[in-house]
């Protein structure tokens, strides 16, 4: 009977498996990429908040220029302390 190609040549005790250096390196590269992606995500969200504040647009209008929904833009604005732009709901008695 032919052995399965993934069967090791030597028998090991159960639980005695040790990942290869190639697997460890690949896992480290994935972890590094995930950390970089998270750093870039926070940077992007910070830039969006700054742009929202500088634009003078409502969160709804601003969301049209992003891949995010209005609710996500609202969350980003809240996270970075950007106040929503609203039309005045109360008119001054002097006007």
Rounded Cα distance between 82 and 71, Å, is: 14
**Positive or negative: CA dihedral 73, 77, 78, 82:** negative
CA angle 48, 50, 53 (to 5 degrees): 105
- Each domain of the chain, given as residue ranges in start order, spans 25-79
pTM of the shown model: 0.67
Query: Which pLDDT score, from 0 to 100, does residue 89 have?
Result: 73
Sign, CA torsion 31/34/38/39: positive
pLDDT tens digit sequence for 16-70: 899 999 999 999 999 999 999 999 999 999 999 999 999 999 999 999 999 999 9
* CB-based contact 74:59 (threshold 8 Å): yes
């Amino acid at each position: 009977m032919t052995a399965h190609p993934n069967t090791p040549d030597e028998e090991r005790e159960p639980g005695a498996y040790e990942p290869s250096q190639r697997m460890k390196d690949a896992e480290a590269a994935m972890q590094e990429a995930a950390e970089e992606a998270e750093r870039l995500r926070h940077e992007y969200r910070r830039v969006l908040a700054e742009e929202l504040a500088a634009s003078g647009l409502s969160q709804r209008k601003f969301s049209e220029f992003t891949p995010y929904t209005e609710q996500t833009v609202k969350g980003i604005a809240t996270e970075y302390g950007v106040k929503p732009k609203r039309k005045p709901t109360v008119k001054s008695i002097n006007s």
